[in-house]
């Protein structure tokens, strides 16, 4: 590890300590996560740059992978980390942050195949162990006055910290106004806070060093790629796919007959189900069908015959039809889930499954474009991974808890039914929507959230959703005397 990278990693660790550490005592992440993630991404990019992996290979030659894919995934990682600054719901923020780490890890490793994309996303975990001797030697060189050029920077920084601490403390004691201003900038010092700051700084330092190590020495993930498969014969390949196409055609035809029928309940008398029950039945089976179809398409593409034009036309025709019919299955599954949600309300699990099925539909479209329309699969694994990151960013942007609360409030206005016991477990993201409920349901739904928001946050723990919720609750405080016993049974 070069002294410059060692100094950069140390600075990133310090940023993590002073931005993430203060937010840990209250358990509320905020804008500090975004600041720290930007610092880690910068060091990761600098590491790849110093290794020559951000520079084009030469005039007129094709650029290296990091010129495009790596930069895109670094940007996606930073955008995913921004979820901590705008959303309060842990169930959506934590997966977004984990996906940000995976996206940054792949950005440092690179690769085009499925094995390289998956392995690159997970490579940061073993890199923590591999980078220890590499980073240790670099830190020793950086801190050595005789061997490194980073020591003057470190020495100057220590002098600045000591001088500010001594004279700042004297000024705080000499003037009350200055002391009041400075106390808001200086974090609270206690045994617990020091431990949390050290933990945040160490975790950031380790993550930064692991990412920098991957930028310098990406693992040989190409060894994970399977050997090229021997193409199957045309008929032994085409007959099973054609049979599957016919099965999907029959299913889609029955679905069309049911959904287009004027009297749907009469049409379904033989099943013993009403239309609403029929629409809600079998959703998860259809999700499994979609996943299995993607596996079938992957195997079919691997063993698809490619001897001549007739083979290529057969492959594109059968797989294109299967992709199109799979999209119909996705639409049917989403329709069934939507009817279920309209009847019983939205929950986090139902929204997760809804988003996952949407993403599966997007994957089917990408597969169809790559394998059927263009006949080029090299970019497909990267596109699917980027699509997953974009889908998570889109899910964060719609404010999931606010979306769930808003639809349940709309349902209450239409039917008079609402599950307040479930709504009270939502996060501060849901406060604007829950504020529309009448009393006592409003106070019952907001009481727990208001209790969590009563304490102030440090500057680096600032969060848009919590700030907005505090403003709403400040103008319309929760009625602590509201009787919630009957509200919980209103659905």
pLDDT tens, residue by residue, 125-177 = 999 999 999 888 877 776 665 555 556 666 676 687 777 777 776 776 676 66
pTM for this predicted structure: 0.82
Q: What is the pLDDT of residues 23-66, one digit of tens each?
A: 777 677 889 999 999 999 999 988 887 776 655 544 444 444 45
Q: What is the dihedral of CA 57, 60, 61, 62, to 10 degrees?
A: 100
pLDDT over 50 (residue 373): yes
Q: What is the pLDDT of residues 304-347, one digit of tens each?
A: 776 677 777 887 888 888 888 888 888 888 887 777 777 778 88
> What pLDDT is stored for residue 258 in this prediction?
63
**Confidence label for 489 from pLDDT (cuts 50, 70 and 90):** very low
């Amino acid at each position: 590890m070069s002294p410059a990278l060692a100094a950069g990693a140390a600075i990133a660790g310090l940023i993590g300590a002073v931005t993430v550490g203060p937010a840990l005592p209250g358990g509320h992440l905020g804008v500090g996560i975004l600041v720290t993630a930007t610092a880690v991404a910068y060091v990761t990019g600098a590491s790849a740059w110093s290794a020559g992996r951000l520079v084009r290979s030469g005039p007129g030659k094709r650029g290296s992978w990091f010129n495009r894919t790596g930069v895109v995934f670094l940007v996606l990682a930073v955008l995913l980390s921004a979820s901590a600054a705008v959303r309060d719901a842990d169930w959506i923020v934590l997966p977004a942050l984990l996906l940000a780490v995976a996206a940054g890890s792949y950005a440092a490793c690179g690769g085009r195949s499925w094995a390289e994309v998956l392995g690159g996303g997970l490579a940061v975990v073993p890199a923590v162990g591999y980078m220890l001797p590499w980073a240790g030697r670099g830190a020793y060189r950086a801190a050595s006055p005789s061997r490194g050029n980073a020591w003057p920077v470190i020495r100057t920084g220590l002098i600045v910290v000591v001088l500010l601490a001594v004279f700042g403390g004297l000024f705080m004691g000499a003037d009350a106004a200055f002391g009041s201003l400075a106390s808001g900038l200086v974090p609270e010092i206690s045994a617990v806070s020091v431990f949390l700051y050290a933990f945040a700084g160490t975790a950031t330092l380790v993550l930064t060093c692991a990412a920098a190590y991957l930028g310098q020495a990406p693992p040989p993930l190409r060894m994970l790629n399977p050997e090229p498969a021997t193409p199957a014969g045309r008929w032994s390949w085409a007959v099973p796919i054609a049979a599957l196409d016919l099965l999907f055609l029959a299913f889609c035809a029955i679905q069309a007959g049911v959904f287009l029928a004027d009297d749907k309940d009469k049409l379904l008398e033989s099943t013993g189900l009403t239309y609403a029950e029929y629409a809600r039945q079998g959703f998860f089976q259809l999700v499994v069908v979609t996943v299995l179809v993607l596996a079938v398409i992957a195997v079919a593409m691997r063993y698809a015959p490619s001897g001549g034009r007739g083979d290529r036309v057969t492959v594109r025709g059968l797989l294109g039809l299967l992709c199109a019919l799979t999209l119909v299955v996705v639409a049917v599954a989403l329709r069934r889930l939507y009817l279920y949600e309209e009847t019983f309300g939205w929950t986090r699990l139902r929204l997760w499954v809804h988003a996952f099925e949407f993403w599966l539909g997007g994957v089917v479209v990408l597969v169809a474009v790559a394998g059927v329309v263009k006949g080029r699969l090299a970019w497909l694994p990267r596109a699917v991974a980027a699509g997953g990151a974009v889908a998570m960013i889109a899910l964060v942007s719609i404010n999931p808890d606010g979306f769930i609360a808003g639809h349940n409030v709309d349902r209450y206005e239409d039917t008079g039914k609402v599950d307040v016991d479930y709504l009270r477990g939502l996060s501060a993201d849901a406060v604007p929507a829950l504020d529309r409920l009448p009393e006592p349901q409003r106070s019952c739904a907001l009481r727990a959230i208001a209790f969590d928001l009563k304490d102030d946050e440090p500057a680096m723990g600032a969060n848009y959703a919590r700030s907005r919720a505090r403003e709403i609750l400040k103008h319309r405080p929760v009625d602590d005397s509201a009787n919630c016993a009957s509200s919980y049974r209103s659905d």
